[in-house]
Structure 1
């Protein structure tokens, strides 16, 4: 097996790489969920959600990507075989992005009772999801740099959890998420990077090399082959990223990121409210299409004109974002 992240090979020795352990036995045990999250920094569940609900969301989203030519229509839409993306440059990406993240079948996944119940247990109270949701379409050859969510979400409460939900089958060679074991306990992260505000401090990816990250923050990379209905939850201090999508059949990865907090705590205005600001009103969430080391958030947020048309900047060379 050969796995890479941002073009760099993973060390697959048992000391550096392992499997996510399902924690389904803790469902319905709020205290057990909180204790395990404090210990592990993440919780993985097999078939938490109804697979048919997840596959319905997948179909809803892929139909929209197919309109842009991102799906090769010579194959079944749900196979998500990469197309030429010929319609992306002329599309209103602002309208497209809003349509994808507000779809009823997609919302049935992010706000599913099973997802909300886990977050109620973790936060010991009533919860809400952020108004922004992050459905991610990852083309062959694409991946994601390493980071923690805290600096991107920390203008309200710090008591937030992320849910990563595969919208369909995702084998590890197709760009599965990876988390760094016990990274949430890293003094180095807590004394530097985790004190930053991504927008104020101009954060790029913490790093793009999985071996560098392990050398700096320790432990094993953990991942799995994911199936519809699986879900991975983690806190704001857990270092994570994604493997590269090395699909031999040019199959695109489709997944979802969503965030949750207690209803009685302040919310980050970047991601909540009727007109949340994100990383600036002149851009939209449309991941991929190049590599910028996330400088000015370009790997995920694209500049658009007043009509929502893409304004793609030139790609940049490799860089490393130290502890800040």
Structure 2
């Protein structure tokens, strides 16, 4: 799909049993990496995100998708008889305990580390951050079966990274083609300003918290787990804003501000494909680093 080829979003997206009406949906605006890092940085500051089309080699992203699903196949997650790169989900018989253990192995693998630190991405992040980029050790890779009711509720990332600098950049990478109905990330339009306001309000109210509680997303002044809301249609109405969605392709990378409010929707892919993505955090190595993110991601690590 070309940069000009983002289709009109005509299918409502849903999460947590609530459907976002089409009038509260809009298209994420793509950016050609060839416009230069200065122009990209200006767009990021203005919009709270940049959706970089084709920053990574498409074939290598698809090969990595195949590698991941080949190693998850023994869990029963994949339907037999298909190229693992398609990621066709099995209808039943998944050993979820084994799947969790295998996912924790994959995020510790050299192959995954190499995917997250591949030269085109590192070179870009060095230029974008105007220095030497640091990739946080805690990195998340997620897969979602079609029809799974759970989806990531609305939040902004700084809630989970308050122990270091606020000059963070999240890179969200779809591992494979991901049309909007597969439930990729959606962004509340213009919400990086809302996130800054929410964070300022939290600081004003957190004077009674210990330093350890202040950096925790689970303190008494936060909603459950640091989420803002699971009701995405209500948020759009409350802030009179649209949720921006996209048909992502293998090779795309989305960078977003730590204040930008985002969420995921239900995977409703008609072809039965698993959604696979990774979200990783970069910062300038000279800025303060949140020590809690210096360990590998573990399920239930309360971050």
Name the CA distance, whole Å, in 2 between partners of 1:85 and 1:60. 21
C-alpha separation between the residues in 2 aligned to 1:109 and 1:7? 34
Query: Do the aligned partners of 2:69 and 2:85 also contact (CA within 8 Å) in 1?
Result: yes
The answer to which structure has the higher helix fraction is: 2
2:141 matched residue in structure 1:
135
1:198 aligns with 2:217: yes
Deviation, structure 1 residue 33: 2.7
Alignment correspondent of 1:12:
22
| 1:36-58 C-alpha deviation (Å, 9 max, x unpaired) | 21111000111111001111211
Match of 2:165 among 154, 157, 166: 157
Q: Is the 8 A contact 1:65 1:71 kept in 2?
A: yes
C-alpha distance 25-58 of structure 1, shift in aligned 2 (>3 A): closer
Alignment of 1:75-94 (within 5 A): 75-83=82-90, 84-89=92-97, 91=98, 93-94=100-101
Question: Which TM-score applies when normalising by structure 2?
Answer: 0.82
Give the deviation of 1:238 after TM superposition: 0.2
5+ long unaligned stretches in structure 1 = 286-295, 302-324
Structure 1 residues 26 and 218: CA distance shift in structure 2, 3 A: farther
Secondary structure in 2 matching 1:185? helix
Q: Offset of 1:93 from its aligned partner?
A: 4.1
Counterpart position of 2:12: 2
- 1:65-144 to 2 correspondences below 5 Å: 65-83=72-90, 84-89=92-97, 91=98, 93-94=100-101, 96-142=102-148, 143-144=151-152
Gaps of 5+ in 2: 1-10, 207-213
TM-score, normalised with respect to structure 1: 0.77
Question: How do residues 34-49 of structure 1 correspond to structure 2 at under 5 angstroms?
Answer: 34-49=41-56
Cα displacement string for residues 245-272 of structure 1 (whole angstroms, at most 9, x for unaligned residues) = 0122322100110110111122112211
**2-structure distance, mates of 1:115, 1:211:** 34
Aligned residues: 276
Which residue does 2:177 correspond to in 1?
A: 169
**Which residue in the other structure is 1:211 paired with?**
233
RMSD of Structure 2 on Structure 1 (CA):
2.4
Please state how far the C-alpha of 1:6 moved relative to its aligned partner.
Answer: 2.2
Q: Which residue of 2 aligns with 1:314?
A: none
Cα separation, partners in 2 of 1:4 and 1:112, compared to 1, 3 Å:
same
Structure with the bigger RCO (C-alpha within 8 Å, sep 6+) is 2
Q: What is the Cα deviation at residue 213 of structure 1?
A: 1.5
* Distance in 2, Cα, partners of 1:188 & 1:59: 41
